[in-house]
Every structure is written in C-alpha cells, then in structure tokens.
Amino acid sequence: METTTTEPGASRLPAAEAGRKARPVRAGARGGRLRGLVTIALFLLPGLVLFCLLVVAPILVAFYTSTFKWSGLGGPPTEFVGLDNFTRLFANEVFLGDLWHGAVLIALSVVVQLPLALGIALLLNQRLRGRAFYRLVFFAPYILSEAITAVLFTMILSPDQGLANQILGFFGLDGLEWFADQSTVLIALFLVMTWKYFGFHVIIYLAGRQGIPKELTEAAQIDGASGWKVFRFVTLPLLGPTIRISVFLSVIGAIQLFDLVWIITEGGPTHSSETMAVTMFEFGFNRFQVGYASAISVVMFLISLVFALAYQRFVLRRDLEGATTVMRDQR
C-alpha cells in the first residue's frame, strides 16, 4: 500500500541497503551473531508480550468461550455447547438486524459521505479564499470524542426542542422524531457519522490529490479537456488508491461502530439502530451471557478478517503490485 505515498521508491532504497549491510558489520566480532539475536529479542520482547497478552490472547479466548454457555462469573466455563451459540445467533432477528444496519450504514457512507468528502477536497484544492481555515473547520469534529459528539447530537436532534426541529419549524416544516422513530433513526445516526467523520476523508483525499503531479492535469487542459473530463479521466483514476483506502476504513469503522450508538440510542427504539458491537456489549455486560456474546465477537472478527483479506486480494491488488515489484527489484 505504500505506493500511495508520494515517493514510493525513494524511501525504500536506503532501507533495503540498511537491512543488507547492518548484519555483516555487526557480526564482525566473534559471537556477534548471538549478540545480534539477543539485541533483537530484547528490543522486541516488550511489544510482543504486551501485544500477545492483551490483543492476541483475548481474541483467542473469545473463540474458546464462544463454544460454551457461560455467565462469565465464578471460574472458567464448563458447559460446552459446540456451535450452538452461532446457530442461535444466525437465527436471531436482532443479530440479523445488526448485519442489515451495518450494511445500510456502509452503503450510505460509500454513496453519500465519501463523494461529498471527495467533492469538498477537490474544491479545497482549488484557489479558494480561506482554504486553510475551511480545512481546520472540517477536520475539527474528527478530534472530538464520540461521547461528546453523541451527547451534542442527542440535544440537537431531540424531538421536542432540539435545534434541528426548530430549524425545520422556522421553514414551516414539521419536526421529525429523529432517534426516537424506527424509520428515521438510521438516517439520523448517519447524519451524526457524516458530521464526525467526513472531515477525515476530506483530509485523506486532499493528501491524495496533492500527490498528483500538476503536469498531468495541465496537459489534459491544454489538450482541450473540459473540467469534468479532467476530473473523470485524470484526477479520479489517479485518486483510485486513496479512494479504495477510504472505502476500506469506512467499512471497517462501520463493522466496529459502538460508542455513538450506545450513547445515543443503546440500539433502540426496539433494536432498530443496534449494531453487532452493541448487541455483544448488551449480552456480555448486562445479561451475563458471555458465551453468546463471545460468539458475536468472533463473528465481528471473522467479518473484519474476511473483508480485509478479500479487499487486499481483489481491490487493493493493483495498488500493492507496484510496491512488491519495487521491493523485488531491490532484492
């Protein structure tokens, strides 16, 4: 994926050299090789211990406990149930709803939020007074915590005296129920997600756009291409790697969505905004069905993994190809 940085080859060369040269130099003295290994172990150990103990092991344990009926209290699980939790899960309407809500939010992000971010990034890339200021503004929500965002929009989209309904009323329109209505809750949630995250995508697109050499768009203009054609046939294809990354991050983000939903609706009304993480949390920490909740964790893990691998394999392949050939050339 490193092809997407501006100078893919430049940063690799010295590194490859370093990798090749570092060892012979240090291995000059007798026992140098052993000393090298000890150094490697010492430097790597803290990270490895922390990572294995607190990331890898818990994920493996989640796989283990997902095959038990377990309350999470009083000693390790004993009541082995095989894949029962999973069959229950996929027969459960709430969980199927979670999958559906995730799909809806992903679709909305890709169809509405990302094009909006791309448009804004291209506008900001042009001569525009106050460009730096706008960039600062668009990105500001991204650094606010989900908790603050969630509480702020609970107030703004409140059905009785929230700002949004006051504005609608100002234009003579009826107010909406927003988070309180099953038919609007996902849209309202998406509105909040757009407010919070689209600035991040703007920033990525801006960085990608600035990596496109000026000569290319200029050449197209000199050849008589209209603004739209320059965008369609020069800018957009060259932004391909950036767009694919931004889609990837949106999808992974949607699979994991928890904070906003938990604070604003807790998944309601009647599960209509519930996500996988919310269902998992509800069963794991409120209903003490840790085995069943672990099964949800496992499914989240597998969906993320399969998606990431498939995406790398099929969508990002072109972007990675350049990187691997560069590496091969230098070996």
Partner 1 sequence: MNGRRGPANPVIPGRLRGLSLHLVVLVIAAFVVVPLLYGVLGGFKDTGQLSTNPFGLPSPWVPENYTDVIMSASFWRQLGNSTFIAIVTTVIVVGVSAMAAFVFARFAFRGREFLFTLFAAGLMFPFAVAILPLFVLLRTFGLLDNPFGVILPQAAFGLPMTIVILRGFFRAIPGELEEAATLDGCGAFGFFWRILLPMARPAIATVSVLAVVASWNNFMLPLVVFNDPNWWTIPLGVQRFQGQHASETARILAYIVLAMIPALGFYAVAERHLIGGLTAGAMKG
Distances in whole angstroms, Cα of residue 252 to Cα of each of 5, 150, 160, 209, 286: 21, 20, 34, 23, 26
102 binds partner 1 (CB under 8 A): no
Q: Does 127 bind partner 1 (CB under 8 A)?
A: yes
200 binds partner 1 (CB under 8 A): yes
Please report whether residue 245 would count as binding partner 1 according to CB under 8 A. Answer: yes
Return the structure tokens found at 51. Answer: 């990572």
CA–CA dist 92, 139 (Å, integer): 39
Sign of the alpha-carbon torsion through 217, 218, 222, 224: positive
Q: Is 37 an interacting residue with respect to partner 1 (CB under 8 A)?
A: yes
Q: Which of 9, 72, 175, 322 binds partner 1 (CB under 8 A)?
A: 72
Which residues in the 129-158 window bind partner 1 by CB under 8 A? 129, 134, 136-141, 143-148, 150-156, 158
Phi, psi (deg, nearest 5) at residue 119: -60, -50
Kindly state whether residue 317 participates in binding partner 1, applying the rule CB under 8 A: no
Q: Which is nearer to partner 1, 23 or 111 (CB)?
A: 23
Interface with partner 1: number of residues (CB under 8 A): 115
Q: Nearest distance from residue 11's CB to partner 1, in Å?
A: 5
| Radius of gyration of the CA atoms of the chain, in A | 25
- Residue 23: Cβ within 10 Å count: 13
User: Does residue 47 touch partner 1 according to CB under 8 A?
Assistant: yes
Residue 107 sits in the site that holds partner 1 (CB under 8 A): no
Nearer to partner 1, 184 or 235 (CB): 235
Among the listed residues 99, 104, 110, 207, the single contact to partner 1 using CB under 8 A: 207
Does the protein bind partner 1 through residue 173 (CB under 8 A)? no
| Residue 2 DSSP symbol | G
Residue 83 touches partner 1, criterion: CB under 8 A? no
Residue 70 has, within 13 A of its CA and on its CB side, a CA count of 24
> Would you say 194 and 113 are in contact if contact means Cβ atoms under 8 Å apart?
yes
Tokens of 98: 């979670």
115 lines the binding site for partner 1 (CB under 8 A): no
199 lies in the site for partner 1, by CB under 8 A: yes
Closest contact distance (angstroms) between CB of 272 and partner 1 is 20
List the one residue from 68, 179, 197, 281 that touches partner 1 (CB under 8 A). 281
List Cα–Cα distances, 307 to 200, 304, 310, 312, in angstroms.
22, 5, 5, 8
Give the separation between CA 19 and CA 108, rounded to whole angstroms.
45
Gap between the Cα atoms of 297 and 301, Å rounded: 6
Does 39 engage in binding with partner 1 (CB under 8 A)? yes
78 lines the binding site for partner 1 (CB under 8 A)? no
The verdict on 252 binding partner 1 (CB under 8 A) reads yes
